[in-house]
Amino acid sequence: MLWRVLSALVILFWAGMTGLLIRDTYFPEESRFTEVPPRVIWELFLNQSEHFNTTLHMYRDKERIGHASFQVTRTPDTVEPVYELFATGVVEKAEGDLRRSDVTWRAMVDLANGERCTSLDVIGRWLTQDVSVALRWKPEEAPEVEVRRGDELVMDSAMARSMMALGGGAALPLDSLGALGAMGGMQMRSREGSMALAGRQRKCYVMEISFGEAMKAEAIFTEVGELAMIKLPEGLRLLEPTVFGLQDEEG
């Protein structure tokens, strides 16, 4: 009888350890988080944004190439709150031992209930080429695009549609924004759990944002709502210098 009990305990222990091994191998830690409404995270970030400046360093692989700042406000609505996300950034270009601003950008996004995009306004300027690109979008409307070189209009929405109708869409520098016409289908998923941040295990929130398959990003917030990291396509990352111990790079 004792042997049977010991055998059963050994089998249960083996099964449990095997299950944990499979879980950790095929279902990594960040995939086991409990889902939470995005509005919970925006509320935490709203409190941080009201009291602290949120500026992240931008990296491509291990090279620092710029920075970006983020702020969120909330506009009460009769049905649901609207969170207004405001972001600005600079991408730098290496010139010998120095770096100079090459691209500046600004973005404003309205999120109904913290999860549905109801308005998007993005402006980017390539300083060395004197080129600016403006993009505006609202639900059930075609995106408005305007490209200028200095004061000269190079392309607008009507011209872009004509070029695409003639089969020249692939040559447009804005072809990657073609999916913005369907931004009403933006997917936003957020979850909570714990991850290694700055060398120690901390509770955090992960927010995944995608526009179809072409445009995906992942933002990681600490348990108190600090924006710690944003993972972008093409190997780009934004890191909060205090959380990740990057303050010494300022020198």
pLDDT, tens digit, 9 for 90 and up, residues 133-187:
998 988 877 788 899 999 999 888 888 777 666 655 444 444 444 444 444 457 8
Report which residue type is found at 138. Answer: K
pLDDT, tens digit, 9 for 90 and up, residues 181-201:
444 457 889 998 877 766 778
pLDDT, tens digit, 9 for 90 and up, residues 80-109:
899 999 999 999 987 777 778 899 999 999
Q: Closest Cα partner for 125 from 89, 94, 100, 179?
A: 89
- pLDDT higher than 80, residue 33: no
pTM over 0.95: no
Q: Which two tokens stand for residue 195?
A: 């991850």
**Residues 14, 18: Cα–Cα separation, whole Å:** 6
**Residues 18, 97: Cα–Cα separation, whole Å:** 53
pLDDT (0 to 100) of residue 165: 65
Q: Which residues lie closer than 8 Å to 247 by C-beta, 6 or more apart?
A: 241
- Give per-residue burial for 217-238: e unless 16+ CB within 10 Å, then b: ebbbbbeebbbbbbbeeeebbb
